Amino acid sequence: MKAYQITSPSGIDSLTIADRPMPQLGARQVVVRVKACSLNYRDLMVVRGAYARGPVPSNLVPLSDGAGDVIAAGPGTTRVKPGDRVAGCFFQRWYGGNADADTNKSALGGSLDGMLAEYVLLEEEGVVTIPEHLSYDEASTLPCAALTAWNALVEHGRLAAGQTVLVQGTGGVSIFALQFARLFGARVIATSSSDVKLARAKTLGAADGINYKRRADWDAAALELTGGRGVDQVIEVGGAGTFARSLNAIRTGGKISLIGLLSGAAEINPMPILRKLASVHGIFVGSTQMFEAMNRAISLAGLRPVIDKVFPFTDAKAAYRHLESGSHYGKVVISIP
Ligand SMILES: NC(=O)c1ccc[n+]([C@@H]2O[C@H](COP(=O)([O-])OP(=O)(O)OC[C@H]3O[C@@H](n4cnc5c(N)ncnc54)[C@H](OP(=O)(O)O)[C@@H]3O)[C@@H](O)[C@H]2O)c1
């Protein structure tokens, strides 16, 4: 079977396509024929050899996110059966409850071989059935970006109707956060480097848009838009370059979900956190049980992920380059025939 692998991570050109043996089933494992994968910013860092969580195994199959059909199930498997449409979970060993030190050792496309292959071997507790109304392309976008947004806003954020959520940029995590916030009756303020993308965010239900290139003081703009009160929650994907402004933009007692480091990392001054009585919480994707709860909400609402562009399996490098360009809005997908 064909799979992409990263020979030695030094950029997108270190991706090669290889013939690999079919996965061998063990107890409570499933083989999935992959139909679609999606890309996350993290996958760019992995292929560049710049993944903050350290070096990845040699000849790693990349990508955490994918969806397809179960074609075989090992002894003792009860959660799914051949023929089921499933997505893989980012963490193969985080079924529910709190994550622990072992959780990160089970990340697809990081510690373990990922989804950019025709067939993959997954733990039965590391797959979820996908919402019926979604195509494989759409479902492939859920495991990382959607679950991270859900975990931030719903599991940790306890989002409620009438709250205001600020989402940074219009990438995968932030567009899902926008969609979930609207589902819960929250108001959304979106930031972006592009007016065109802000206009698209408004068609998804964002009440207001702030162009952070034109208004470097987007925190002040968010305060103006909330009558000086501040927003209830921030989806913080910017990192060092945005965190101080996020603290300024929240209301007293507001919440910041620390998710990304698009502008890098730095030391943190604790004083504004204390003064604002802020809740600052690190988020790392989510568990299988959270994924199932999110899928129930997606099914009930008929929510559809926003796909920017779909690339063929043979052109996976072009998909990476498209993500790298930053021109995307929502998710970039690779379809496997
Ligand atoms: N902790 C976790 O579990 C977790 C899970 C998923 C992702 N992440 C992290 O979250 C971040 C976003 O991931 P993603 O996959 O959603 O990325 P993505 O799809 O590539 O989206 C990136 C977008 O963020 C916006 N952006 C870039 N720099 C920015 C800045 N300095 N301030 C505000 N917005 C900025 C841009 O939007 P515009 O073009 O609209 O300006 C850009 O298109 C990454 O750092 C990723 O590693 C973490």
Domain boundaries of the chain, sorted by first residue: 2-141+305-335, 146-282
Check if 235 has its Cβ closer than 6 Å to any atom of ligand 1: no
Cβ of 177 below 6 Å from ligand 1: no
Count of all residues that appear for the chain in the document? 337
Determine the pLDDT at residue 118: 98
Inter-helix orientation angle 41-48/316-325, to 10°: 110
Q: Return the amino acid letter for 313.
A: F
> Ligand 1 mean position to 39 CA, how many Å?
12
Model-wide pTM > 0.85 = yes
Torsion of CA 228, 156, 170, 306, to 10 degrees: -130
Q: What secondary structure does DSSP assign to 314-334, as a single string? A: GGHHHHHHHHHHT--SSEEEE
CATH superfamily for 2-141+305-335 is Medium-chain alcohol dehydrogenases, catalytic domain (3.90.180.10)
C-alpha 284 – ligand 1 centre gap (Å):
14
Which of 44, 262, 283, 307 is the best mutation target for the ligand 1 pocket, counting ligand atoms within 8 Å of the beta carbon and taking the most? 262
Output the residue whose Cα is nearest ligand 1's atom 36: 169
Per-position pLDDT tens, the chain of length 337: 999 999 888 899 999 999 999 999 999 999 999 999 999 999 999 999 988 777 788 999 999 999 999 999 999 999 999 999 999 999 999 999 999 989 999 999 999 999 999 999 999 999 999 999 999 999 999 999 999 999 999 999 999 999 999 999 999 999 999 999 999 999 999 999 999 999 999 999 999 999 999 999 999 999 999 999 999 999 999 999 999 999 999 999 999 999 999 998 888 899 999 999 999 999 999 999 999 999 999 999 999 999 999 999 999 999 999 999 999 999 999 999 8
- Residue in the block written with tokens 């730095």: 266
pLDDT for position 266? 87
The CB density around residue 279, as the number of other CB atoms within 10 Å, is 15
Q: Is the minimum distance from the CB of 241 to ligand 1 under 6 angstroms?
A: yes
pLDDT at 52: 74
Ligand 1 centroid from CA 171, angstroms? 5
Per-residue pLDDT at 294: 98
Give every CB contact of residue 163 below 8 A, 6+ residues apart in sequence: 181, 184, 186, 187, 232, 233
Query: For ligand 1, atom 9, which residue shows the shortest CA distance?
Result: 260
Integer Cα distance of 240 and 262 in angstroms: 8
> Which amino acid residue places its CA nearest to atom 34 of ligand 1?
169
Q: Is the CB of 103 under 6 A from ligand 1?
A: no
Query: Pick from 173, 192, 180, 321: which is nearest to 258 by CA?
Result: 173
Tokens describing residue 130: 């996908």
CA-CA distance, 70 to 79, in Å (whole number)? 11
Q: Domain 146-282: which topology? A: Rossmann fold (3.40.50)
Q: Where are the beta strands (DSSP E) in 54-156?
A: 65-73, 85-88, 119-123, 127-129
Question: To test ligand 1's pocket by mutation, which of 37, 39, 41 has the most ligand atoms within 8 angstroms of CB?
Answer: 41
pLDDT number for residue 301: 98
Q: What pLDDT, on the 0 to 100 scale, is given for residue 265? A: 86
Nearest CA to ligand 1 atom 25: 169
pLDDT for 303? 98
Residue 229: helix, strand or coil by DSSP? coil
Read off the tokens for 104. 């990160």
Please name the residue that has the structure tokens 């199930």.
Answer: 73
Give, using CA atoms, the residue closest to atom 18 of ligand 1. Answer: 171
Q: If you measure from the C-alpha of residue 138 to the centroid of ligand 1, how many angstroms do you get, rounded to a whole number?
A: 19
For ligand 1, whether the C-beta of 331 sits within 6 Å is no
